Amino acid sequence: MKVAIIGTGYVGLVAGTCFAESGQDVTCIDVDEEKLQALRLGQIPIYEPGLAELVRRNLDAGRLHFTGELPAAVGPAQVVFIAVGTPEGETGRADLRYVLEAAEQVGRALTHYTVIVNKSTVPVGTADRVHAAIARNTRCAFDVVSNPEFLKEGAALRDFLKPDRVVIGTRSERARELMGELYAPFVGGENPLLYMDPCSAELTKYAANAMLATRISFMNDVAALCERVGADVEWVRQGLGADKRIGSAFLRPGIGYGGSCFPKDVKALMATAREVGMEFDLLRAVENTNTRQKRCLLTKAVKHFGDLSRRTFAIWGLAFKPRTDDMREAPAVELIEGLLGKGARVQCHDPVALESARRYFGDRVTYAPTCYAAAEGADGLFLVTEWNAFRHPDLKRLKATMRSPTLFDGRNAWDPQRAREEGFTYFGIGRTR
């Protein structure tokens, strides 16, 4: 099957590569010629474990192509995916300008019946708007399908190749059959292909991310309550997670969620509700809790040290989560800005996100080549992103390196008792042990 994918960002590149890996003939389209030249050489612009190797393998096999010529790629395709950006608009609703521009271009390029798939995260009702934009520019038969992505950064290949589910929003039997054929290599057994109407598919994406964000904020509020009443959140978390009705996923307290999806999708779902006269009060609380949580380590540092000016702090972890270099809405950004705003010096390290950090902070912070170099002379160390390399530090070496042995564990990744036995002052999230 010939597949065209408009957009070589995170979603488009992963989807195109994985479809090629399943044997399809895939052409990815972008307007950035410099980016295309790099992709043709197997050089990818994002950090995602395993993706570069998969791109190169499918380039070598002749199943994956990159072009700036949309009509040449869309014309022969049976399925065209729109996977362009949907940035947050002023009201919180996703900005659809790039989606609708792509739809118009697709309409002008169609030569036969084609299924056009919304892969971008879009508000409810977008399938109808895309259909109208294409219809104004073609006389060819076509169908528009909503097929939201559920990729986790750092595990995107696994999520695509072995998905929990694939959601297909369409009312067309013809489109349903074609999409079923395309996704057949990835689904089966406990990994279902779920068919529904386009509006339900669009809402499923937002609802899924909002639910996960809600679990995170709920647990962070529980952690805050633990600190006030003398309970330990780790024991509370284990008691909750053992209940099969609840489960343990997304119940680990920390310093808030970030990334390109949760913050934006929570706002977008709230905006959708407002447009139909509903206030999504629960999600407003989720958002408020997350905002507060991103400041909790700074609050602990101020309470412990008082004046932070002329003090030096180490930051371990800059990306919003491990296994990615993405710093969009990352808790580390707010923490570092808070420390700098109080006159502190910041020395930071991340296994892959240092270049991303330079775009945020320039020369306002020090970028250390190793985690221990970041800790040299530090009054306090903040663990912000729980990379595996940070989970078992050499505490004796760390204590000898730091000026003041104080740990702020933003992910409850370290053993408080062991840290205290080694002479550290330890602060976690909702920890009393």
- Token digits of residue 63: 């199943």
Instruction: For residue 59, give Cα distances in angstroms to 293, 356, 414.
Output: 44, 27, 43
Q: Is 86 annotated as a binding residue?
A: yes
Distant-in-sequence, close-in-space partners of 401: CB < 8 Å, separation ≥ 6 = 372, 375, 376, 377, 378
Q: Is 399 annotated as a binding residue?
A: no
Cα separation, 3 vs 127, in Å, equals 19
Ordered alpha helix ranges (H), 294-370? 296-305, 331-341, 354-361
Q: Is 152 annotated as a binding residue?
A: yes
Q: Is 328 annotated as a binding residue?
A: yes
Q: Is 150 annotated as a binding residue?
A: yes
Instruction: For residue 204, give Cα distances in angstroms to 88, 239, 265, 347.
Output: 18, 29, 11, 41
Q: Is 258 annotated as a binding residue?
A: yes
Q: Is 2 annotated as a binding residue?
A: no
Q: Is 33 annotated as a binding residue?
A: no
Q: Is 407 annotated as a binding residue?
A: no
SS3 content of the chain, % helix, strand, coil (to 5): 45, 15, 40
Q: Which of 18, 261, 296, 371 is catalytic?
A: 261
Alpha-carbon dihedral of residues 347, 350, 352, 358, nearest 10 degrees?
-30
Q: Is 153 annotated as a binding residue?
A: yes
Q: Is 264 annotated as a binding residue?
A: yes
Q: Is 193 annotated as a binding residue?
A: no
With b meaning 16 or more CB within 10 Å and e meaning fewer, what string describes 185-208?
A: ebbeeeeebebbebbebbbbbbeb
Q: Is 151 annotated as a binding residue?
A: yes
End-to-end CA distance of the chain: 58
261 belongs to the catalytic site = yes
Q: Is 253 annotated as a binding residue?
A: yes
- Decide: 135 and 141 in contact? Cβ < 8 Å: no
Binding-site residues for NAD(+):
30, 35, 86, 121, 153, 264, 328
Binding-site residues for substrate:
150-153, 205, 250-254, 258, 321
Q: Catalytic positions, please?
A: 261
Binding-site residues:
30, 35, 86, 121, 150-153, 205, 250-254, 258, 264, 321, 328
